Amino acid sequence: MKNRMFVTLFLSAILALPTVAQQTNSSSSAQPEASADQLAPVSPPASQDFWDGDEPSFSALLLHPFASKQYVRRHVQPIQDRVNELDELTESTHKMIRDVDARAQQGIQLASAKANLADEHALDAANKAQMARQSAATLDTRVVTDETVVGNIDQYKPGPQTEIRFRPGQTVLSKQAKDALDELAAQVKDHHGYILEVQGFSSGHGQAAIASSRKMADSVERYLVLNHEIPAYRIYVIGMGNASAAQPASGTRVEISLLKNDLQAAK
């Protein structure tokens, strides 16, 4: 009960303050009017609300608790301008961040694309290098093989020897001679790396004996080339004449030596 009475009195005092203030203002304004008859007339002061000041007093706030729109606008407008300025600055900063991020993403994508291309080139180069190493290894093997072949190309080993007999003064091959040549040709058929050394021996002396021995050797070569298709470059013909005094004068013959090297197995 006492609390309610105290609140009621407090509210009554607050409501009475504006009336007291108005009466005070009326009495203060009446005094200048009374003295106005005695003094020179002056223009009345412009009405100014206390909210037009920067910092109203506490009593003014109690007597006039509601601020005017102009006062609020005057104090709020700088804050609003500052807020707008901050918003613009924030938006500009966000735009710059987005631009920087976009450029960074483009740079990252470009760098990634170049890195992928570089990886592809590196892989291609590695594959080519591997192929080159394999080719070099194969070439080295072939070079070694060729060197071995070249080194052994003139290393002929004597093989079986065939002797063809002729009558003195004749160069015609007998049936027995042809059979011996056929058997020799069968040994070298489809082979490489061989040479047939055909040496003719004849009776007599001097150039006549050499010419006669050469004719017998030529008849043997001609038979092998025409009947067995042995290349002529594999046949080496020599007319020896009467090369040895130990041989009898009637020993007219042709000796055929088969010389082979390591290439004979090549097809």
Q: Distances from the Cα of 238 to the Cαs of 138, 148, 210, 211, in angstroms?
A: 42, 30, 9, 10
Can you give the pLDDT at residue 52? 52
Residue 37: inside a domain: no
User: Other CB atoms closer than 10 Å to residue 98's CB: what's the count?
Assistant: 10
Both 178 and 249 in one domain: the answer is yes
Phi and psi (nearest 5°) for 38? -90, -30
Full-model pTM:
0.43
Per the structure, how many domains does the chain have?
Answer: 2
Residue 26: inside a domain: no
- 120 is in which domain, residue-wise? 57-152
Q: Distances from the Cα of 78 to the Cαs of 56, 66, 88, 217, in angstroms?
A: 19, 21, 15, 131
Can you give the pLDDT at residue 74? 74
Geometric angle at alpha carbon 49, from 59 and 12, rounded to 5°: 40
Both 161 and 130 in one domain: the answer is no
Closest CA to 217 of 175, 176, 256: 256
User: Other CB atoms closer than 10 Å to residue 21's CB: what's the count?
Assistant: 15
Can you give the pLDDT at residue 97? 92
Both 125 and 161 in one domain: the answer is no
Start-to-end Cα distance in the chain:
137
Q: Distances from the Cα of 124 to the Cαs of 96, 103, 110, 127, 129, in angstroms?
A: 42, 31, 21, 5, 8
Can you give the pLDDT at residue 31? 47
Alpha carbons within 13 angstroms on the beta-carbon side of residue 98 total 6
Q: What is the CATH number of the domain that holds 235?
A: 3.30.1330.60
Both 148 and 168 in one domain: the answer is no
Q: Is 45 left (phi over 0), alpha (psi -120 to 50) or beta?
A: beta
Phi and psi (nearest 5°) for 182? -65, -40
Domain termination site, one of 152, 186, 202:
152
Can you give the pLDDT at residue 226? 94
Residue 48: inside a domain: no
Residue 61: inside a domain: yes
Both 179 and 143 in one domain: the answer is no
Both 111 and 174 in one domain: the answer is no
Residue 131: inside a domain: yes
pLDDT tens column, 74-106: 777 888 888 888 888 898 898 889 889 898 888
Residue 47: inside a domain: no
Q: Are 202 and 216 in contact (CB under 8 A)?
A: yes
Domain termination site, one of 118, 152, 186:
152
Domain termination site, one of 125, 152, 179:
152
Give the DSSP H/E element, type plus range, for residue 87.
helix 69-152
Residue 134: inside a domain: yes
Instruction: Tell me the three state secondary structure of residue 45.
Output: coil
Can you give the pLDDT at residue 38? 46
Closest CA to 254 of 266, 238, 265: 238
What residue ranges of the chain have pLDDT lower than 70?
1-69, 71-72, 146-155, 243-250, 262-267
Residue 90: inside a domain: yes
